[in-house]
Amino acid sequence: MRDVSYAYRLGKPVLHSVNLTIESGEVLMILGRSGAGKTTLLKLAAGLLKPQSGSVIYEDGRLEGKVSQSIAYVPQKIGVVENLTVLENALLGALGKLPFLTQVVGSFPKELVARAVEVCEILGLGEHIHAKARELSGGQRQRVAIARGLVQGAKLVLADEFVSQLDPLTSLEVLELTRELKKQGIGFAITTHDVHFVPKFGDKVAVIKEGRLVLHSNVSDMSVEEVLNVI
Amino acid sequence: MSAKWRTNPNTNLLVLLGLTIFLLWYFGAFNPRTLAKLPNVTAFLANAFPPDPRPTPLLLLSMLETVLIALAGTVIAVLISVPLASMSTRSLFSTPVTTFFRLLLSVIRTVPSILWALLFVITVGLGPLAGVLGTAMYSIGYLGKLLYEAFDVVDREVLDSVRMSGAGKIALMRYVVIPESANYIISQSIFMFEYNVRASTILGLVGAGGIGFYILSYVQVLDYRSLTTTLLIVLAFVVIFDLISSRLRSRFLPA
């Protein structure tokens, strides 16, 4: 993101000239108080919002209001379709790979179904692939959202308040997954309020304060106390 | 002062009573000629009871036809109103598109089912087909509105996250909006069927099939005892369908 600024219609600017890079295979933890602009930042990075000024570039291509299949977005409320099964939710990630008619009819090629099943098994959802998403626990639903991103072939997962609705143990389990996945070259940008996850799971940390990026650093260069002082 | 006036239940009751009396007077209820006809009510009731059981088998068959008209009309309406409601969903389509389809549904809804049935009697002829099409048309407008209002409140975050996979608008409708609203679609379709069972009982008045034909005939030949039998059968069916409908709908609506 280069010099990105954004304001919602008729509102005060939410982000001011933000410069931020998210590398593949690393976990960027984004911290900030409520209303600081973290969610807006992720939506801009996802291409779901178009910045008023500045540019959002992904692998040399400009996004700015257009989405890329290489980027997955997991919203605060997780974003799984409650009335679909785990496997169906995972397969939603493959929709962009299908021609229009096949997409509408819902005829997924065998290899995509096999890939979706494989991803579900890797993420520990193998026993639940035919269960409706609404029947799952919070942690399992997070995994479903990740599964959809992996079936999509995403190289970057943007996750908003990824573990805020989970209990501490499940939060740790879900975040452990990011460690495994980043070994495969998948990058994560995760907004969170819990600064204590930063040293354990983050490679880089960014702090947003009143719409401005006030810290962007390697986690190893900062202590938790130093990060807290910036927030 | 106005707040005090509004919160005084006795004053409100008096105002309502006064308004009712005024409207009754306005529509001629206290006209001496009208009052002179009051004994007709007792004469009518005397002629309407006891109900004549002889046409019951015929009336039951006719009521069954009414239910089938309502069912066919509702099924057609569901099949057509879901895509029309989808095109009216603001979270998916642009304002000009949604405005056009909302206006279309509004126009369809403005014409009551009996008037639609009359138009179809003119175009496809007398009989239950006109009733089915008339019921379907009105239900498309009504159900379409109920559904697009439900589609509009599907969580945009879910839509956004699935949109990231490259899903088009039709796919988003197919895989997110419709599954997320499935319970509501079923519940409102059952409600529409229940409504149509009631509405279809008068379609026969315009020659569009069903038990309405007998209601009109018995009134015309002054056979009030058979009319009572007909109305009791309609009442029984409507009550039964209301009960079944509310039981079924409660399964699909959140507690």
A162 in the same domain as A61: yes
Going A23 to A31 to A63 to A120, the CA torsion angle's sign is positive
Kindly determine whether residue A67 and residue B163, on different chains, have CB atoms separated by under 8 Å.
yes
Mean pLDDT of B65-69: 93
Please give the angle made by the CA atoms of A161, A156 and A202, to the nearest 5 degrees. 55
CA-closest candidate to residue B210, choices B229, B197, B220: B197
- In eight-state DSSP terms, residue A18 is E
Kindly determine whether residue A95 and residue B161, on different chains, have CB atoms separated by under 8 Å.
no
A222 in the same domain as A110: no
Mean pLDDT of B167-185: 90
Mean pLDDT of B89-101: 94
Residue B2 has pLDDT above 80, yes or no: no
Q: What is the mean pLDDT of chain B?
A: 89
Supply the pLDDT for residue B103. Answer: 96
Supply the pLDDT for residue B67. Answer: 93
Residue B4 has pLDDT above 60, yes or no: no
A64 in the same domain as A178: yes
Supply the pLDDT for residue A99. Answer: 84
- Is there a domain that residue A76 lies in? no
Chain A residues close to B175, C-beta within 8 Å: 81, 84, 88, 92, 95, 106
Supply the pLDDT for residue B6. Answer: 59
A86 in the same domain as A65: no
Please report which confidence band the pLDDT of residue B177 belongs to, taking 50, 70 and 90 as the band edges: very high
When scoring B161, B172, B183, B185 by the number of chain A Cβ atoms within 10 A, the one with the most, hence best to mutate, is B161
Please give the angle made by the CA atoms of A68, A69 and A71, to the nearest 5 degrees. 75
H/E stretch holding A157: strand A156-159
- How far apart CA B223 and CA B125 sit, in angstroms, is 27
pTM: 0.78
| % of chain B with per-residue pLDDT over 70 | 96
Supply the CATH number for residue A15's domain.
3.40.50.300
- Is there a domain that residue A75 lies in? no
Cα-trace Rg, chain A:
18
Task: Note down the domain range covering A133.
Answer: 81-152
Please report which confidence band the pLDDT of residue B63 belongs to, taking 50, 70 and 90 as the band edges: very high
Out of A48, A95, A148, whose CB is closest to B171?
A95
Find all residues with CB under 8 Å of B42, minimum gap 6, and list them: none
A93 in the same domain as A63: no
The angle, 0 to 180 degrees and rounded to 10, between the axes of the packed helices B56-87 and B224-252 is 40
Write down which residue in A124, A152, A180 finishes a domain.
Answer: A152
- How far apart CA A23 and CA B239 sit, in angstroms, is 66
- How far apart CA B212 and CA B202 sit, in angstroms, is 4
Write down which residue in A152, A168, A202 finishes a domain.
Answer: A152
- Is there a domain that residue A186 lies in? yes
Q: What is the pLDDT of residues B124-160, one digit of tens each?
A: 999 899 999 999 999 999 999 999 999 999 988 889 8
- Tell me whether strands A187-192 and A53-55 are parallel, antiparallel or unpaired: unpaired
Tally of domains within chain A: 2
Please report which confidence band the pLDDT of residue B255 belongs to, taking 50, 70 and 90 as the band edges: very low
- Tell me whether strands A2-7 and A13-18 are parallel, antiparallel or unpaired: antiparallel
A171 in the same domain as A142: no
A31 in the same domain as A19: yes
- Is there a domain that residue A135 lies in? yes
A228 in the same domain as A130: no
A161 in the same domain as A219: yes
Q: Cβ–Cβ contacts within 10 Å for residue B122, how many?
A: 12
Supply the pLDDT for residue A60. Answer: 57
Min CA distance, B89 vs chain A (Å)? Answer: 18
Write down which residue in A152, A176, A206 finishes a domain.
Answer: A152
Mean pLDDT of B8-15: 84
Whether the Cβ atoms of residue A208 and residue A46 lie closer than 8 Å to each other:
no
Chain B residues close to A141, C-beta within 8 Å: none
pLDDT < 50: residue spans in chain A: none
